Amino acid sequence: MAKAKSFADKVAKNTIDFKKHCPKCGEAYANIQLVKAEKSASGSWRFNDRHVAVCKCNDKEVVQ
């Protein structure tokens, strides 16, 4: 039989911060999808997308 959760247990679980934080500024990382259009060797356009963790320290470097 499962253990009943009290209201205090539910509140304590919601106050835990599971996000990763930047060691420089302490800001939480925001995961964004970065899409770049590049011309391939055959002359056609292709879109390269990748997921990047961004905070206010590296925001200018990543977006440019």
Model pLDDT, residue 64: 72
Phi-psi region of 57 (alpha: psi -120 to 50; beta: other; left: phi over 0): alpha
- The pLDDT of residue 15: 73
Where along the chain do its domains lie? 20-63
**What confidence score (pLDDT) does residue 17 get?**
74
User: Along the chain (64 residues), what's the average pLDDT of each consecutive run of 10 residues?
Assistant: 80 78 88 91 93 87 78
